[in-house]
Amino acid sequence: MTTAAALDAAPTPVDEDEFRALKAEVRAYVDHEGEAWTELIEAEHRVPSELWDELRARGYLSLAAPRSLGGRGLPFARYLELIELFSRPHASLRMIVHVSNGLWRAMLPHANAEQVERFVRPQVSGELRVAFTLTEPNAGTGADIKSSVVREGDTYYLSGQKHMITFGHSADYLLLAARLEGSRGGEGTVALMVPAHGEGVDNRLMADTMGVTGTDHAHLIFDRAPVPVANRLGAEGDGLEVAVGGFLVPSRISVAMTCVGLAGRALDLAVERAKQRETFGKPIAARQAISFRLAEMAADLEAARQLTLYAAQTWERDPATGAKESSMAKLVGSEMLQRVTDGALQVFGGMGFFKSPIERVYRDARAQRFEEGTVEVQKQTIARELLR
């Protein structure tokens, strides 16, 4: 059995012809099948298991994982080019691709050989659904988590609550951060693979969200839920490193590119509408107020894209760095997205207020201000790095 440390996690060099073909394939998928799934998810307020199966069969859930784990091994910055495309149809479709392609980064560096086979490989292949489980009702930044464990022999007993856990209700396992009872701050934290519907776990489906419909967010209550010590990733005290270091930094960059992709969809819809909609005998695109607004939106979007790619390249060069740049990309991207979607809705006028693609994009955009940390958390991270 291969040890985790011996696995080659390096990205595979990109064959540009193959990548162009893959990118064209993804673009065709999101424009056709992706839009059909969008209509179904919005109508039924759920993400069907068949969508997970389809994405898995196409290899879209293992694009970024190394070949040694059964993935495609795309370099991070090139993978982001695809995330931009996956962000154009329904936000829940993008969320599946995003989470599935990122969780192995948190798990692999801390997994032993047995855990690689039990958890990491099945997560990469899509056989095992894993939900990233950090946020709590009264704690959200990591170091302030209150969920705790008591160790008795070879078992931890987990107590506490988590909420707003994306795909937490349909998950097989929770990649969960808790702390040893009595510890404080980052000390004494542990990362555990917890069965999502196991003994002592009250797994409740939360109410529908404004946007990103169907992602079955879970509210989880743990009452001395037994978790084998063998399910701990890394050592005691490594919990926040697993959660934040392995997953959060690249995930924030991915969310920033999500903002770019969603803003691109909003801009395309606005341009098309501006050409079609007429007032006083001519298309509103011919009016300077509208054309200048569209130009500002395009420039805003491109600036966010380039900052995101810079953050990705910074992190790729040295995964131990990039916290500041990832937060900058997430901050700028999420704020840009609000401006662009607001401008696009304005182009549609009153028709944008009715159920439609632009109305859905507008709702989905709001969620990006919170995913992987609020605007205020990003500013806090940037300021801490500046003043270090």
For 73, residues 6+ apart whose C-beta sits below 8 A from its C-beta are 10, 11, 12, 64, 65, 66, 67
pLDDT attached to residue 8: 65
- Among 16-30, 176-190, 297-311, which is the least confidently predicted range? 176-190
Q: Write out pLDDT tens, residues 317-334.
A: 988 888 899 999 999 999
pLDDT attached to residue 2: 41
Work out the average pLDDT over 179-183. Answer: 93
Give the C-alpha separation, 10 to 73, whole Å.
7
Q: Write out pLDDT tens, residues 118-144.
A: 999 999 999 999 999 999 998 766 778
Task: State what percent of residues in the chain have pLDDT above 90.
Answer: 84
What band does 7 get if pLDDT is binned at 50, 70 and 90?
A: low
Whether 241-386 and 130-233 are alike in CATH topology: the answer is no
Whether residue 372 lies in the annotated active site: yes
- Among 173-187, 281-295, 339-353, which is the least confidently predicted range? 173-187
pLDDT attached to residue 372: 87
Work out the average pLDDT over 156-172. Answer: 96
pLDDT attached to residue 208: 86
Work out the average pLDDT over 200-210. Answer: 93
Exactly one of 35, 272, 372, 385 is catalytic; which is it?
372
pLDDT higher than threshold 90 for residue 170: yes
Structure token digits, residue 357: 């693609």
Gap between the terminal Cα atoms of the chain = 43
Instruction: Look at the pTM and tell me if it is higher than 0.85.
Output: yes
pLDDT attached to residue 13: 84
> What HEC string does the chain produce?
CCCHHHCCCCCCCCCHHHHHHHHHHHHHHHHCHHHHHHHHHHHHCCCCHHHHHHHHHCCCCCCCCCHHHCCCCCCHHHHHHHHHHHCCCCHHHHHHHHHHCCHHHHHHHHCCHHHHHHHHHHHHHCCCCEEEECCECCECCCCCCCCEEEEECCEEEEEEEEEEECCCCCCCEEEEEEEECCCCCCCCEEEEEEECCCCCEEEEECCCCCCCCCCCCEEEEEEEEEEEHHHEECCCCCHHHHHHHHHHHHHHHHHHHHHHHHHHHHHHHHHHHHHHCEECCEEHHHCHHHHHHHHHHHHHHHHHHHHHHHHHHHHHHCCCCCHHHHHHHHHHHHHHHHHHHHHHHHHHHHHHHCCCHHHHHHHHHHHCCCCCCCHHHHHHHHHHHHCC
- One-letter identity of residue 240: L
Per domain, the residue ranges of the chain are 4-101, 130-233, 241-386
pLDDT attached to residue 4: 55
pLDDT attached to residue 140: 64
Does CATH place domain 241-386 in 3.40.50.300?
no
Q: Write out pLDDT tens, residues 210-261.
A: 888 989 999 999 999 999 999 999 999 999 888 877 788 899 999 999 999 9
In this predicted model, which residue has the larger pLDDT, 275 or 373? 275
Average pLDDT of the chain, as a whole number: 93
Give the C-alpha separation, 291 to 130, whole Å.
45
pLDDT attached to residue 138: 87
Q: Which fold has domain 130-233?
A: Butyryl-CoA Dehydrogenase, subunit A; domain 2 (2.40.110)
What band does 14 get if pLDDT is binned at 50, 70 and 90?
A: confident
Q: Which fold has domain 4-101?
A: Butyryl-Coa Dehydrogenase, subunit A; domain 1 (1.10.540)
